[in-house]
Amino acid sequence: MISRKWRRNMDKLDLELFTSLAHDRSMNKLALTYPLSYSTIAKRLQLLEDEVGKKLFIRTKAGAEFTLEGRKFYYFAYKTLLTLNEGIRITQYSDEEDNEVFQFGVNNPVIRVISPILLPMMEKQNLYKKWKIQLSTSIELPMLTSCEVVQMAIVNQNDYIPDNVASIELFKEPILLVGSKKHKKYQDIRHTSFLLRDARFIIPKRGYPLRELIEERFFRAFNIRPKQIIELENSCDTKTLVREGVGYTLLPRSSLWLDSEGLSIYDPHEENLCQRFYLIYPKRLEEQHKEMIAFVVKSVREQVDFYRDNEGQKLKMS
């Protein structure tokens, strides 16, 4: 434990170091990024950990490995930084300019699913002079919605929706195991999961909701400890590497609509392995955007039904 004389409240730099460590997993890399010595960074992170009162990460030969408490705290550290940065940004714009723009957030993997409804949605909501479609992550969008930087957003499953944000489930899709056509075929994942223990997996970075689902409901459910993990943020880049035979990935079925060429798709038949998608919006604005909320919910569900009836039949399970 750190002596009380060294105790002090965490600051913005502490949170930046902590969230950067989650991505880089190396204090040496942080020392190259920030104008701080290795010992100063280590001391700040130790003080941060002491203030939280839990072990947030463990140093290993492979780098910093976050504990369960560390992964939980990462989300709120990221949320705090995002709120501060957005607060700085929005103060640079006048209220008049903000009132003229309707900002709609979309989680990156969902954009192709809902793109057909964007134009009708803009025509429906004609009170605003400008529209801004903000593509972002499932980590950022709930925070942006909470701050009312965006008026509505479509996000994937997230256990940390802020209290002042309402949510409506739009649809859910099973998460499928995806490999290259070059890979050997697995007829039954339950009986051949031991073969996947030596496989390389390409999955989202820590902190992303899909990553949590994969670890809890696939790796643990099938007792799989991947030989190697490659972390990416973009599902398009992930599918490119999978097609080249670099490794396997897991994606919701909706991510494979319109883009499954060259991929072998396997259904793990795990009932709890699915991802839900939600429309979220600030509770304070619910009455103001009541008609728009109903329109978006109806339109997205109809579009999803269309893809299920058409594109879904093209997804041939290996």
Q: Are residues 198 and 264 in the same domain?
A: yes
Mean pLDDT of 191-214: 77
Residues 6+ apart with CB under 8 A from 22: 66, 70, 74, 205, 206, 207
Length of the chain as a residue count: 318
Domain containing 287: what range? 100-171+276-317
- Note whether 184 and 246 are same-domain residues: yes
> Is 65 within the bounds of a domain?
yes
- Categorize the per-residue pLDDT at 1 as very low, low, confident or very high, splitting at 50, 70 and 90: very low
| pLDDT at res. 6 | 45
Average pLDDT of the chain, as a whole number: 82
Tokens representing 72? Answer: 């939980």
Each residue of 134-147: b (16+ CB within 10 Å) or e?
eebbbbbbbbbbbb
User: Based on the domain organization, do 116 and 48 belong to the same domain?
Assistant: no
Q: Which residue, 42, 60, 87, sits at the end of a domain?
A: 87
216 pLDDT band (50/70/90 cuts)?
A: confident
For range 51-66, the mean pLDDT: 84
Spatial separation of the C-alpha atoms in residues 122 and 259, rounded to whole Å: 26
pLDDT confidence of residue 202: 93
- In terms of domains, do 228 and 260 share one? yes
- Looking at the structure, tell me whether residues 248 and 182 fall in a common domain: yes
- Give the pLDDT score at 191: 52
4 domain-assigned: no
Co-location of 163 and 152 in the same domain: yes
CA trace torsion 110, 303, 217, 261 (10° rounding): -70
Mean pLDDT of 273-298: 93
Phi, psi of 97 (to 5 degrees): -70, -40
Q: Best-predicted range by mean pLDDT among 99-103, 191-195, 255-259?
A: 255-259
Residue 62's CATH number: 1.10.10.10
* Cβ pair 308, 172 in contact under 8 A: no
Mark whether 197 and 263 lie in a shared domain.
yes
What does the alpha-carbon distance between residue 112 and residue 124 come to, in Å, rounded to a whole number?
20
pLDDT of 97 strictly over 80: no
Is the pLDDT at 184 greater than 70? The verdict is: no
Q: Assign 92 a pLDDT band (cuts: 50, 70, 90).
A: low
Q: State the pTM of this model.
A: 0.73
3-class DSSP assignment, residue 131: strand
32 and 61 in a common domain: yes
Q: Residue 5: inside a domain, yes or no?
A: no
- Given a cut of 60, is residue 5 above it in pLDDT? no
What pLDDT does 32 receive? 86
**30 vs 188, higher pLDDT:** 30
- Asked whether residue 128 is domain-assigned, the answer is yes
Q: Are residues 177 and 265 in the same domain?
A: yes
d(CA 158, CA 78): 14
Q: Is the pLDDT higher at 43 or at 125? A: 43
**In whole angstroms, what is the distance from residue 113 CA to residue 300 CA?**
8
Let me know if residue 1 belongs to a domain: no
Amino acid symbol at 223: N
Q: Judge whether residue 160 has pLDDT over 90.
A: no
Greater pLDDT, 22 or 174: 174
What pLDDT digit, counting tens, does each position of 45-54 carry?
A: 999 888 888 8
- Which range among 7-11, 97-101, 203-207 has the greatest average pLDDT? 203-207
Enclosing H/E stretch for 60: strand 57-60
Mean pLDDT for the stretch of residues 25-37: 86
pLDDT at 3 exceeding the cut of 70: no
Cα 114 to Cα 88, 145, 237, 251: the distances in Å are 31, 18, 20, 17
The distance of Cα 4 from the centroid of its chain, to the nearest Å, equals 37
At residue 4 the predicted structure's pLDDT band, cuts being 50, 70 and 90, is very low
Is 112 part of a structural domain of the chain?
Answer: yes
The phi and psi torsions of 9 (rounded to 5 degrees) equal: -70, 145
Same domain, 221 and 287: no
Within a domain: 3: no
77 Cβ contact partners less than 8 Å away, ≥ 6 residues apart: 15, 18, 19
pLDDT per position as a tens digit, 250-260: 999 988 888 88
Are the CB atoms for 45 and 37 separated by under 8 Å? no
Residues 166 and 290 in one domain: yes
Statement: residue 195 has pLDDT above 70: no
Q: What is the CATH number of the domain that holds 270?
A: 3.40.190.10
Predicted pLDDT of residue 193: 60
Does a structural domain hold residue 269? yes
Number of domains in the chain: 3
Give dist(CA 226, CA 217) in Å, integer.
14
Phi and psi of 263, rounded to 5°? Answer: -115, 140
Q: How far is CA 251 from CA 12, 113, 204, 218, 275, in A?
A: 34, 14, 10, 12, 9
